[in-house]
């Protein structure tokens, strides 16, 4: 089982609903976030293009954050979800530095926090909060090992990319382009 | 801007400062150490139904609570066609309204001290309502009951509307009409005999071509429509966006027409020219249903794409190609009417041109065009008839705006400012849920009207600017803490939905219905609110439509079936339209009767003076009007607005990204606060753009005070639509100022 997310940049309008839904679902303190919006404009008026992406932890198969964690707080859960165990975390910040995606933040309670693919929901058969709330339905979540999952199906049909592939992290978040 | 990553250092300094007070509740809301993973999933979240009050879309949802009964989150109701189980960021962030510690907490009454200084003092509900009842009675005796008005937005309009009508006034107005969607209602009424209402019956889900004229769907989060647009993108529909700004949806469009501001009617006329002269219109549909085709055909002959090119700067080939694209998709094509359409004062005519295009393409009443909405009628809890008011705001209009189908908030404002030759008689305002200072254009006029009042009562959840001018301020509890009237909305099928309190009102705040009923009792109008409890009223009403409060508490939304299978016109069906001729009026007899152009005419609008730029404004998906900028959750997503400036313009002025400037308009009005410059290719060289609703001046809004600039303050030139009195707000121009004179002197 390999959990993954595909996000359709052709549909995302950058409304930030994923951000606020994550915050309320996961009690992320205001002023912090586990997911965020990136908007990139290319060209000059009127020959323009915008790519809008909802970004988060890429739950990399080859995670620098897991490798560098001195206490084992950062680890893989079933399905390859990268998770931090708060009471094992000493807040040293090594993982924050090592992450090429800047996906982690120091929680005011003294540990490092990040996206968990809403593991507590996924275990109950629900979608991650960001996926379930998105008004444009631009996010797909599921098991890459299941050829019939929504995420496998959409990756078969559409062109996609991952972020900073040259870092060699093998991300599990794919962007449909 | 949209939420972006903060860097590590910044976060540390923020958290050291305590982030926001809001962080406290987030922790205290969770019992024990529940922020640990896994435990969250074990919380037993019970839920109560609601429908959202953060905007007018009113999506139905569920309020989820923690074990200790505190509110945790809000999610969409799967059965609600407005949201399909997915709330927008504002709906999701609606909890911030409840937890905002800047909320109005107790009734306030204006008092003047011995030194002549006016302040508010806290009052009991009894005292505040007694005072209002007494003053209202005095005004009735002195001037007549009709000299009072309600200005409202949202659910409270039901109760305060009943109150003021029972009192004897017909002045109930919402800025959502004359400051927003009014012109399109009149335009569609004049054309099809039907207005659009809300949510608009656009069949975007099944459209093959969606045409947006200045509508920035996706930045305005009209939830169901954004969802359907996304479905349409999936199905390969063509989107054509006309906007001087490269909006989010422009970036999703096959065609973006970067039009010169204020020239849309010219483009619309040339599209008609192409569609008619090439025979691309729906001949059967037009022959059967339309009135005035020959007149229209003759009329549009001069409006070639080449003619429009000179005006709009859109190349003739692009005009032809997009006209062809629409015709190919017809009748599954939507020239979207937009929502905030009060731009240049010829707005009814511009939307008329859009309505006519829809008619030519046969999209009204057709799949993928406009469906025929259905709405259910739920009998209201019985009350005595309202008395007939002796006169109303219209009497102060000198016979103008007869085609307005709802009251004008700006008309009420006008009817309050005494003038020698008109019957301007209004002496008291009740204001509920609308921050008129930032809602109405020309703030000086609004303040003139307020200064002419003998009484102003403001009922709100937040210390919006308007509260500072009130004689009495009444704190309403938020929608998460109250019952409200049933949501009864139109759609592909009718629905009713329930809002019930998820928590007790915080502080000393009260529900709108309670305030209105208690006030009515004190004013001797208790019989208009004859129910004992609001639950009793709702249950009575629900039982009239074979439901009950018990049922609605469980389901939140009740989907009803259409009475007739008439969502689209049947092929060749005989249809009587509700116009003078019984036909779709390409040539409007109603407009002609009132002395207006029966077919839309392009008139050039003023261009910006040297060094000035069109002031264009719009929405951000995480904010509604000016009412959400202090919401802790939503301010966290966007806490200030910025002014978009084209790089060429920035270079000319030496402006850099992030630099703070004041904006000054054509009338010498300078923004109260500085606003950051966003240098971006996404805006035309002759325009600037900003999000509406920022630049708050009330210090009690601690999170949003002084953040960004207020477009409302800079909208002092109002282009009034002669047809229905809409207040066109896009005729304003701004320039940049690096400092104010007061600063230069110091």
- Angstrom distance (rounded) from CA B201 to CA B203: 6
Residues of A in contact with B244 (CB under 8 A): none
What's the pLDDT tens digit per position in B42-79?
Answer: 444 589 999 999 999 999 999 999 988 899 999 999 99
Place of tokens 């909060």: A129
| Nearest-10 Cα torsion for B596, B600, B603, B607 | 120
| CATH class of the domain at B198-372+568-593 | alpha beta
Contact A11 B23 (CB under 8 A): no
Q: Which of B70, B83, B637, B703 to mutate to test the interface with A (most CBs of A within 10 A)?
A: B637
pLDDT higher than threshold 60 for residue B414: yes
Nearest chain A Cα to B218, which residue?
A13
Assess whether the region B124-176+377-476+511-530 and the region B613-745 belong to the same CATH fold: no
Cβ distance A36 to B5 less than 8 Å, yes or no, reads yes
Confidence of residue B24 (pLDDT cuts 50, 70, 90): very low
Residues of B with CB below 8 A from A86's CB? 35-37
pLDDT at B45: 53
Does the pLDDT of residue B4 top 90, yes or no?
no
- In chain B, where the domains are located: 124-176+377-476+511-530, 198-372+568-593, 613-745
| CB-based contact B234 A33, cutoff 8 Å | no
Fold observed for domain A3-176: Alpha-Beta Plaits (3.30.70)
The Cα B218–Cα B226 span in angstroms is 6
Nearest to A13 among B6, B86, B218 (CB): B218
Nearest CA in chain B to A38: B4
Residue B744: the pLDDT is 63
- At B33 the pLDDT is 34
Look at A41 and B621 and tell me if their CB atoms are within 8 Å.
no
A-B CB pairs within 8 A amount to: 196
Q: Do A20 and B92 touch (CB under 8 A)?
A: yes
Q: Which of B27, B32, B681, B686 to mutate to test the interface with A (most CBs of A within 10 A)?
A: B681
Q: Which of residues 192-251 of B touch A (CB under 8 A)?
A: 218-219, 221, 223, 226-227, 229-231, 233-234, 246, 248-251
Q: Is B488 on the interface with A (CB under 8 A)?
A: no
pLDDT tens digits along B67-121? 888 999 999 999 999 999 999 999 999 999 999 999 999 999 999 889 988 999 9
**Taking CA atoms, what residue in A is nearest to B88?**
A17
For the ranges B5-19, B554-568, B609-623, the lowest mean pLDDT is seen at B5-19
Write the pLDDT tens digit of every residue in B707-718. Answer: 999 999 999 999
Report the residue from B15, B40, B72 with minimal CB separation from A120. B40
Q: Cα separation of B592 and B270, whole Å?
A: 22
Mean pLDDT of B534-553: 97
For residues B476 and B513, what is the distance between their CA atoms, to the nearest angstrom?
10
Using a CB-CB cut-off of 8 Å, the residues of chain A touching B646 are: 45
- Half-sphere exposure at residue B133, Cβ-oriented, CA atoms within 13 angstroms: 18
Distance CA A140, CA B492 (A): 27
- B221·A138 Cβ contact <8 A: no
Q: Assign a CATH topology to domain B124-176+377-476+511-530.
A: Rossmann fold (3.40.50)
Q: Which has the closest alpha carbon to B273: B204, B205, B322?
A: B322
Q: What is the dihedral of CA B606, B612, B614, B617, to 10 degrees?
A: -150
Best probe of the B interface among A9, A11, A17, by most B CBs < 10 A, is: A17
> SS3 of B475, please?
strand
| Residue showing tokens 């010498």 | B668
Do B61 and B135 form a contact (C-beta atoms < 8 A)?
no
Our CA-based measurement puts residue B34 at a distance from the nearest CA of chain A, in whole angstroms, of 9
* pLDDT value at B746 more than 90: no
pLDDT score, position B741: 80
Q: Which of B7, B88, B682 sits opposite A17 (nearest CB)?
A: B88
Residues of A in contact with B45 (CB under 8 A): none
Residues from chain B that touch A133, judged by Cβ atoms under 8 A, are: 75-76, 86-87, 92
**CA–CA gap between residue B379 and residue B38 (Å, rounded):** 48
Give how far Cα B171 sits from Cα of B58, B165, B427, B467, B731, Å: 24, 8, 12, 20, 28
Question: Minimum mean pLDDT among B9-18, B380-389, B476-485: which range?
Answer: B9-18
Residue B343: count other Cβ atoms within 10 Å of its Cβ: 24
| B86/A135 Cβ within 8 A | yes
How is B695-724 classified by DSSP, letter by letter? -B--TTSTTTBT-S--HHHH----EE-TTT
The nearest CA of chain A is from the CA of B154 a distance in Å of 23
pLDDT average, residue stretch B313-326 = 98
CA-nearest residue of chain A to B684? A45
pLDDT in tens, A120-156: 999 999 999 999 999 999 999 999 999 999 999 999 9
Total Cβ atoms within 10 A of residue B7: 9
pLDDT digits (tens, 9 = 90+) for B292-306: 999 999 999 999 999
**Helical segments of B625-668, H only:** 632-635, 647-653
Of the candidates B5, B223, B622, the beta carbon closest to that of A102 is on B5
Q: What does DSSP say about strands B660-665 and B733-737: parallel, antiparallel, or unpaired?
A: antiparallel
Residue % of chain B over a pLDDT of 90 = 89
- Cα B745 to Cα B115: distance, rounded to the nearest angstrom: 31
Q: What is the mean pLDDT of chain B?
A: 92
Which string of DSSP letters, residue by residue, matches B172-200?
EE-HHIIIIIHHHHHHHHHHHS----SS-
B621/A17 touch (CB, cutoff 8 Å), yes or no: yes
Q: Pairing mode, if any, of strands A173-176 and B660-665?
A: unpaired
Inter-chain CB proximity A133 and B15 less than 8 Å = no
* Candidate from A20, A136, A137 with C-beta closest to B633: A20
pLDDT digits (tens, 9 = 90+) for B347-356: 999 999 999 9
Reading the block at residue B141, the tokens are 């005796």
**Is there a contact between B8 and A136 if contact means CB atoms under 8 Å apart?**
no
- Look up residue B374 and give its DSSP letter: B
Query: Which residues are A5's β-sheet partners?
Result: A141, A173
Beta strands in B55-117 (DSSP E): 60-65, 71-76, 108-112
* pLDDT interval class at A89 (50, 70, 90): very high
Omega of the bond leading into B331 within 30 degrees of 0 (cis)? yes
* pTM of the complete model: 0.93
Give me the residue from A16, A41, A85 closest to B2, CB to CB: A16
Residue B21 has pLDDT above 60, yes or no: no
Contact list in B for residue A116 (CB cut-off 8 A) is 37
Most A CBs within 10 Å: which of B1, B3, B32, B71, as the mutation test of the A interface? B3
User: A17–B89: do the CB atoms touch at under 8 Å?
Assistant: yes
What 3-state DSSP class applies to B734?
Answer: strand
Residues on chain A touching B681 (C-beta within 8 angstroms): 41, 43-45, 48
At residue B30 the predicted structure's pLDDT band, cuts being 50, 70 and 90, is very low
Whether B633 and A30 lie within 8 Å, measured CB to CB: yes
> Best mutation site among A6, A7, A20 for testing chain B: the one with the most B CBs within 10 Å?
A20
Count of H-run helices and E-run strands, chain A: 6, 10
Q: What is the pLDDT of residue B2?
A: 34
Residue among A153, A173, A149 at smallest CA distance from A162: A173
Residues B622-652: tens digit of each pLDDT: 999 999 999 999 999 999 999 999 999 999 9
Nearest-by-CA chain A residue for B637:
A16
- With an 8 Å Cβ cutoff, is B67 touching chain A? no
Asked if the Cβ–Cβ distance from B35 to A24 is below 8 Å, we say no
Of B30, B41, B248, the CB nearest to A123: B41
**Chain A touched by B34 (CB under 8 Å):** yes
Interface test with B, best of A11, A15, A154 (most B CBs within 10 A): A15
Residues 6+ apart with CB under 8 A from B236: none
Q: For residues B211 and B328, is the Cβ–Cβ distance under 8 A?
A: no
**Architecture of the domain made up of B613-745:** Beta Barrel (2.40)
Q: Which of A126, A124, A114 is nearest to A173 (CA)?
A: A114
Instruction: Give pLDDT, residue B102.
Output: 98
Contacts of A17 in chain B (CB under 8 A): 86-89, 92, 621
Contact B212, B243 (CB under 8 A): yes
List chain B residues with CB under 8 Å of A138. 230
3-state secondary structure of B144: coil
User: What is this model's ipTM?
Assistant: 0.96
CB contact under 8 A, B92 and A133: yes
- DSSP strand E in B308-437: where? 333-336, 428-432
Query: Looking at residues A80-108, what average pLDDT do you find?
Result: 96
Torsion, Cα of B172, B173, B176, B179 (10° steps): 170
């Amino acid at each position: 089982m390999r959990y993954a997310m595909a996000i359709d940049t052709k549909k995302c309008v950058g409304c930030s609903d994923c951000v606020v839904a994550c915050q309320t679902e996961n009690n992320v303190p205001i002023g912090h976030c586990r997911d965020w919006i990136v908007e990139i404009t290319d060209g000059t008026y009127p020959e323009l293009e915008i790519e809008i992406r909802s970004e988060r932890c890429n739950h990399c198969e080859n995670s620098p954050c897991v490798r560098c964690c001195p206490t084992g707080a950062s680890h893989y859960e079933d399905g390859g979800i990268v998770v931090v165990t708060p009471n094992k975390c000493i807040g040293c910040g090594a993982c924050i530095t090592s992450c090429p995606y800047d996906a982690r933040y120091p929680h005011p309670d003294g540990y490092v926090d990040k996206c968990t693919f809403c593991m507590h929901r996924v275990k109950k058969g629900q979608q991650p909060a960001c996926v379930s709330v998105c008004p444009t339905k631009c996010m797909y979540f599921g098991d890459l090992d299941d050829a019939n999952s929504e995420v496998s199906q959409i990756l078969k049909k559409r062109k996609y990319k991952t972020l900073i592939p040259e870092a060699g992290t093998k991300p599990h978040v794919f962007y449909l382009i | 801007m949209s939420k972006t990553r903060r860097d590590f250092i910044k976060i540390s300094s923020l958290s050291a400062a305590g982030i926001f007070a809001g962080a406290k509740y987030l922790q205290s809301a969770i019992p024990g150490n529940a922020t640990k993973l896994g435990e969250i999933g074990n919380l037993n979240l019970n839920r109560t139904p609601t429908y959202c009050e953060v905007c007018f879309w009113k999506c139905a949802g569920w309020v989820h609570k923690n074990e200790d009964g505190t509110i945790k989150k809000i999610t969409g109701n799967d059965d609600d066609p407005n949201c399909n189980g997915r709330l927008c960021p504002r709906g999701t962030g609606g909890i911030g309204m409840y937890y905002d510690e800047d909320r109005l907490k107790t009734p306030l009454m204006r008092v003047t001290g011995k030194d002549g200084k006016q302040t508010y003092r806290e009052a009991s509900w009894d005292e505040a309502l007694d005072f209002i009842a007494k003053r209202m009675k005095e005004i009735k005796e002195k001037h007549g009951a009709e000299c009072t008005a309600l200005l409202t937005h949202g659910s409270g309009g039901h109760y305060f509307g009943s109150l003021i009508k029972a009192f004897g006034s017909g002045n109930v107005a919402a800025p959502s009409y004359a400051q927003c969607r009014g012109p399109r209602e009149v335009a569609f009424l004049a054309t099809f005999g039907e207005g659009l209402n809300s949510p608009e019956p656009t069949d975007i889900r099944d459209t093959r071509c969606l045409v947006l004229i200045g509508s920035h769907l996706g930045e305005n989060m009209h939830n169901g429509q954004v969802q359907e647009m996304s479905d349409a993108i999936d199905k390969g529909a063509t989107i054509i966006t006309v906007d001087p700004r490269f909006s989010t949806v422009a970036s999703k469009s096959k065609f973006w027409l970067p039009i010169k501001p204020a020239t849309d009617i010219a483009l619309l006329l040339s599209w008609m020219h192409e569609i008619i002269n090439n025979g691309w219109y729906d001949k059967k549909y037009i022959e059967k249903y339309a009135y005035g085709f020959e007149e229209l055909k003759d009329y549009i002959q001069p409006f070639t794409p080449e003619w429009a090119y000179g005006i709009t700067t859109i190349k003739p080939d692009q005009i032809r190609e997009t006209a062809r694209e629409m015709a190919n998709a017809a009748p599954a094509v939507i020239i979207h009417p937009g929502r905030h359409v009060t731009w240049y004062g010829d707005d009814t005519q511009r939307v008329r041109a859009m309505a006519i295009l829809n008619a030519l393409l046969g999209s009204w009443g057709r799949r993928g065009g406009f469906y025929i909405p259905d709405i259910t009628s739920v009998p209201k809890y019985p009350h005595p008839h309202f008395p007939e008011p002796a006169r109303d705001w219209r009497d102060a209009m000198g016979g103008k705006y007869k085609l307005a189908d709802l009251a004008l908030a700006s008309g009420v404002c006008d009817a309050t400012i005494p003038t020698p030759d008109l019957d301007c008689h209004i002496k008291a305002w009740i204001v509920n849920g609308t921050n008129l200072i930032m809602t109405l254009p020309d703030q000086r006029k609004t303040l003139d009207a307020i200064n002419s009042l003998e009484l102003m009562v403001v009922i709100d959840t937040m210390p919006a600017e308007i509260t500072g001018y009130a004689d009495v301020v009444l704190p309403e509890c938020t929608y998460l803490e109250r019952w409200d009237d049933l949501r009864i909305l139109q759609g592909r099928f009718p629905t009713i939905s329930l809002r019930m309190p998820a928590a007790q009102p915080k502080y000393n705040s009260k529900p709108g219905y309670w305030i209105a009923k208690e006030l009515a009792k004190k004013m001797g109008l208790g019989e208009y609110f004859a129910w004992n409890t609001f639950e009793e009223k709702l249950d009575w009403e629900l039982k009239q439509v074979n439901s009950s409060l018990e049922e609605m508490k469980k389901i939140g939304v009740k989907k009803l079936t259409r009475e007739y299978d008439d969502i689209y016109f049947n092929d060749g069906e005989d249809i009587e339209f509700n116009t003078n001729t019984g036909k779709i009026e390409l040539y409007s007899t109603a407009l002609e009767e009132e002395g207006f152009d029966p077919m839309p005419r392009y008139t050039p609008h003023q261009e910006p003076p040297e060094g000035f730029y069109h002031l264009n404004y719009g929405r951000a998906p995480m904010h509604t009007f000016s009412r959400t900028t202090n919401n802790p959750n939503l301010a966290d997503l966007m806490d200030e607005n910025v002014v978009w400036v084209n790089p060429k313009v920035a270079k000319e002025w030496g402006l850099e990204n992030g630099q703070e400037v004041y904006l000054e308009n054509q009338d010498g009005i300078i923004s109260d606060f500085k606003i950051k410059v966003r240098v971006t290719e996404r805006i035309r060289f002759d325009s600037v753009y900003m999000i509406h609703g920022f630049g708050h001046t009330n210090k009690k809004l601690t999170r949003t005070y002084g953040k960004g600039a207020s477009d409302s303050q800079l909208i002092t030139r109002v282009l009034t639509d002669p047809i229905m009195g809409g207040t066109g707000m896009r005729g304003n121009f701004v320039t940049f100022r690096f400092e104010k004179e007061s600063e230069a002197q110091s």
